[in-house]
Amino acid sequence: MSKEKIITINPATEEKINEFPHLSDKELKESIDNCQEAFLEWKHEYIENRAKIIQLIGKELIKHKDDLAKLMTQEMGKLISQSETEVDLCAGICEYTAENGPKNLQNEERTLSNGNKGTIAYSPIGIVYGIQPWNYPSYQVIRYAIVNLMAGNAVLLKHASNVTGTGQLLEKIFVTAGLPKNLFKALIISHDQSDMIIKNKNVRGITLTGSSDAGRKIGQKATAELKKVVLELGSNDAYIVLEDADIKNAIEECVKGRIYNNGETCIAAKRFIVVEKVYETFKEGFVKAMKAVIVGDPLKEETELGPIAREDLRETLHEQVEESVKNGAEILCKGKIPNEKGFYYPVTVLGDVKPGQPAYDDELFGPVAALIMAKDEKDAMRIANDSKFGLGGGIFSKNIENAKKLAQHHFDTGMIFINTFGIADPTMPFGGVKNSGFGREHGGFGIKEFVNIKSIVVSK
């Protein structure tokens, strides 16, 4: 009997790219066993040597930049320029981790209340299993894999099926750079086999980036096995435009924040909350700018927006738009599926967005913007926090100190960008609250999520 297989499809052309057979249960068990054996060697490797290999992985990523970027664009439809930027970001994460990892994991010496001496040590725990999405096919993998390898752990990956090729290429890049074989494995498996991995005794941590529903399921399965889990989930990020904002800059950044990565970003700008005094001015400029976005072939330099990654995702997005309109939202531009090859969806702006509409309550994963009017600053913050999510958000204001105060003391979300749209940076923690998950990555925080924080006490 032939194996089940994954077939990858180019969302811009609807043509087949490749096919990949699933591992058998026996092959999967062998992969986990081999990964554990590799871990038992790697955990004793000097941290400085680990850092050298991490640095080499970053350099190898740059060597394969053209091939990797083209494959990501073919598999999920992002602009080729953004695929190239993603590879640069991944290399930057390797460089940052190689430089800062040894310092982050240094022992800490303390004097106890009774005069005894204490040492806090950060020890690797074993295999960390990552279940990763398709929207940043390389970055999502690098984000959790590199810090865990730096910490001395081994890494298993279940990548989203439509970017299977990217996962396989990353594994080859890691090994070519000098990472010991089997220490990082990109597994081609089913959901049932994924559950087998979570239950395996040698798998000590699970991290998932995905939807809130997926987070609940994986979180329940992981905690049922008493295993540490980190969840980076979806969001419906609010970007607030206050009365004293630079409206031209706010429009430019909000357009960028909504269409970047074809609008398929958990930390994308999605709800645009504008105070009443500048609402009409912002609305006019924002809708005009969104209408002007060039949609087309993601491999062409002039294209500003590519296709949705899969046909089913486009259907879900359109259903959310239609449901929002049915419940009172107004289409300010576009909002219709084009009759052409490829899974394209037009840049769409919805007005009169209110609670009870998907555009207000849920995450719209694609180039659809929800425009909401607030009475004033206080009302804008209320609306921003009136969400089950809390990953990112933004504030546009010329009063930087007031914006920072709002961000720190009032915005109930994990990351806030002032007068800009922001994505991940290796130096800053990444993660959210509420239905956007828990745990942190980047900024020296992610490297300690899956380590054994040991207390070693010596009598005086």
Catalytic residue among 232, 253, 363, 449: 232
- Determine whether 37 is an active site residue: no
Of 271, 366, 358, which Cα lies nearest the Cα of 314?
366
The amino acid that residue 280 corresponds to is: E
- SS3 category, 326: helix
Query: What is the C-alpha separation between 109 and 148, in angstroms, rounded?
Result: 23
Task: Kindly state the DSSP code that residue 23 receives in the 8-state scheme.
Answer: P
Specify the DSSP element, H or E, that contains 322: helix 311-326
Which structure tokens are listed for 425?
């940076």
Check the CA dihedral 408-417-233-383 and report its sign. Answer: positive
- Compute CA distances 428 → 60, 124, 441, 442, 450, whole Å: 24, 23, 8, 6, 18
Q: Are 53 and 197 in contact (CB under 8 A)?
A: no
CB atoms within 10 A of CB 48: 10
- Determine whether 266 is an active site residue: yes
Of 351, 228, 222, which Cα lies nearest the Cα of 284?
351
Beta bridge partners of 109: 119
Specify the DSSP element, H or E, that contains 288: helix 276-291
Which structure tokens are listed for 381?
């913050």
Catalytic residue among 94, 266, 304, 363: 266
Q: How many residues does the chain have?
A: 460
Residues designated catalytic = 232, 266
